[in-house]
Amino acid sequence: MTIQNELKGKRGVAILHDPLLNKGTSFTETERDALGLRGLLPPKITSQAQQVEKILSNIRRKATDLDKYTYLVSLQERNAALFYRVVMDNLSEMMPIIYTPTVGQACQKYALIFRRPQGLFISSNDRGRIKELLGNWPHTDVRMIVVTDGERILGLGDLGSCGMGIPVGKLSLYTACAGLPPEQCLPVMLDVGTNNQALRDDPLYIGLAQERLRGPAYDELVEEFVTAVHEIFPKACIQFEDFGNTNAFRMLRKYRDRVCTFNDDIQGTAGVVLSGLYSSLRLTGGKLADKTFLFLGAGEAGVGICNLIVQALVAEGVSEAAARAQCWLVDSHGLVTKSRTDLAEHKLPYAHDHAPMPDLLAAVEAIKPWALIGVSGQAASFTEPVVKAMARVNARPLVFALSNPTSKAECTAEEAYTWTEGRAIFASGSPFAPVTLNGTTHVSGQGNNSYIFPGVGLGVLASESTRVTDEMFFVAAKTLASLVTEEDLAMGRVYPDLQRIREVSAKIAVAVAEVVFARKLTSMPHPADIASYVLAQMYQPEYEQYV
């Protein structure tokens, strides 16, 4: 951010009300005089470190995680640098507050806690003037947009406009985890209504209290949005987030070869799971090409993970048909097989010849998978018989309970370790505390997309790529797995320590940028030292001297 450009003649209260400019009590005597701040602040000048100490003290006194979330959002709205300093220096503590699992509660209560707009609300009533609405955003160099229509928020379902907490949270992680400048980030809610009757009946609901828009009218709205973004913010990447299955797959197919876009639920989730599988091989032995994978959940995440696993297996010399045959899906009607006539299009590539299996336990006993991966949003669906069945056919069973928030996890860390006598390799979407069993402490990995999408986004933006490809998520997964240490594995964790996330994101960004240059997806010249160049692009939440 160029401070002088952002100031643009602002003085006094206008500066204090701009979160990108405000330093609170850290403004110097010289700045207070030159910028008309004298008298608007208490006389004592404090350092950012002192401010951080006060913020942490206030947060830790809050009674609930939702109270902490609300406090942090308020801080973000008034002082962005201080917010990111607090989050980045205390990531393991703050990330579960600003994102999963607390963001799920925040979305459910969003109408009550909403204070100031942190992004754009574009409704179906705005058709014909979306370009105008984008022009209302105060920052002109937007590079990363996260957009949702609120239909499938985490495992919570249709939350309509209350789903705005997800784009806001995702973009906070882009900055905290990968250093995307906050002024280049734009959260967007496409409000097309909601089929959640409770929300429509709630007089405090902040969105359109009508049934969801469907069909051509919906597609026309999305088309207008994508076209307007390309015109107003030509260097922007659009991340589709938490759309319903049908629209998510359609939108990805429609736009991925036309604009710079991806779907984190389909592609980002796939990257983080594939990375966890690579890391797990270091504990179980063997090759990915020899393994079988069973998924509970056959929507965006499940099919997206299968697609990337297939790409990985093909890279190891497996034919595409054989690779697909190693991936099995279980949905709400049982095992996905060719004999079923009720399958959506995205499930068909993974419908195999097999006798019908009515439930997950039967599927585990029949398929005998190496890895059981939950992306169903169905809490407690990895029951004790299911997990024990996995333990019977694997010395080290992989149990990935990835549904968010924590309340939707297919099983807990304690359950997975207890039911397998400590032999499970466990990962979850939201964090679980370490589990001590028979004198051994197990620290599970958090298989959260935040290990993948920030680094991919940084690589795409740093290289000014015109597209986002599956290959980028493949190299991101390989890079992430390579950063897991022997110490991580020894405690049972198949992902790096979360406090290393900026290092992780930077290395993923370099790998992604190399793909961009190799595939000629940019007109930008290749930097002499791509790693140094990427690091130089990363935002640091430090106060600048204004005068």
**Which residues form the catalytic set?**
99, 170
∠ Cα 177 179 183 (to 5°): 120
Q: Report the 3 state secondary structure along 473-531.
A: HHHHHHHHHHCCCHHHHHCCCCCCCHHHHHHHHHHHHHHHHHHHHHCCCCCCCCCCCHH
Among all chains, which residue has been given the structure tokens 């070869």?
Answer: 257
Of 349, 347, 381, the closest CA to residue 364 belongs to 381
Among all chains, which residue has been given the structure tokens 């359109």?
Answer: 208
Q: Maximum Cα–Cα distance for the chain, whole Å?
A: 79
Of 201, 108, 204, the closest CA to residue 153 belongs to 108
Q: How far is CA 424 from CA 263, 305, 467, 477, in A?
A: 30, 21, 38, 22
Spatial distance between the Cα atoms of 468 and 470, rounded to a whole number of angstroms: 7
Q: Count Cβ atoms below 10 Å from residue 533 Cβ, excluding itself.
A: 16
∠ Cα 169 171 174 (to 5°): 120
Helix/strand/coil for 233: coil
Q: Report the 3 state secondary structure along 267-279.
A: HHHHHHHHHHHHH
Spatial distance between the Cα atoms of 454 and 473, rounded to a whole number of angstroms: 11
Helix/strand/coil for 436: strand
φ, ψ dihedrals at 312, nearest 5°: -65, -40
- CB distance 190 to 147 below 8 Å: yes
Spatial distance between the Cα atoms of 159 and 164, rounded to a whole number of angstroms: 9
Spatial distance between the Cα atoms of 400 and 407, rounded to a whole number of angstroms: 15
Q: Is 160 left (phi over 0), alpha (psi -120 to 50) or beta?
A: left
